[in-house]
């Protein structure tokens, strides 16, 4: 079973998006799956060049370990002269990023 298939079976997935540098995160990311998500995310970011854009419109849940993973990915990209931003996000995940004041770090625009 591939990493992608394992993720889907565990209730999450990360896929390449509709353009270069876009990754789609979906499902639920919590402590139990964070190591597998980290592996898949790093695998995909290494294949891409340039800045990274996260589409999280279908990410229904993320806990503190998932937020830590996003921060780790951001730091890793910055060390390599790259950036990461969020282009779309589910309302409940947006609320969490706003409460933790992390949204701004990922270029998340304020809600209109």
Q: How do the domains of the chain map onto residue ranges?
A: 3-103
Average of pLDDT values for 46-74? 94
Average of pLDDT values for 63-68? 96
Residues 6+ apart with CB under 8 A from 39: 3
Spell out the alpha helix ranges (H) of 3-108: 3-10, 34-47, 64-79, 91-99
Q: Given a cut of 80, is residue 42 above it in pLDDT?
A: yes
pLDDT at 1: 47
What percent of the chain has a predicted confidence (pLDDT) above 90? 77
Q: Given a cut of 70, is residue 4 above it in pLDDT?
A: no
Average of pLDDT values for 76-86? 93
Superfamily of domain 3-103: STAS domain (3.30.750.24)
Pairing mode of beta strands 22-29, 12-16: antiparallel
Average of pLDDT values for 24-49? 93
């Amino acid at each position: 079973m591939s990493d992608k298939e394992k993720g889907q079976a565990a209730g999450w997935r990360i896929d390449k998006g509709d353009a270069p540098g876009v990754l789609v995160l979906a499902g639920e990311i919590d402590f139990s799956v964070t190591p597998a998500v980290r592996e898949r995310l790093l695998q995909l970011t290494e294949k891409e060049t340039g800045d990274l854009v996260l589409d999280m419109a279908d990410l229904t849940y993320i806990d503190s370990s998932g937020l830590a993973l996003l921060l780790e990915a951001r730091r890793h990209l910055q060390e390599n002269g790259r950036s990461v931003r969020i282009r779309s996000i589910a309302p409940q995940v947006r609320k969490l990023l706003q409460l933790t004041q992390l949204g701004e770090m990922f270029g998340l625009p304020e809600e209109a």
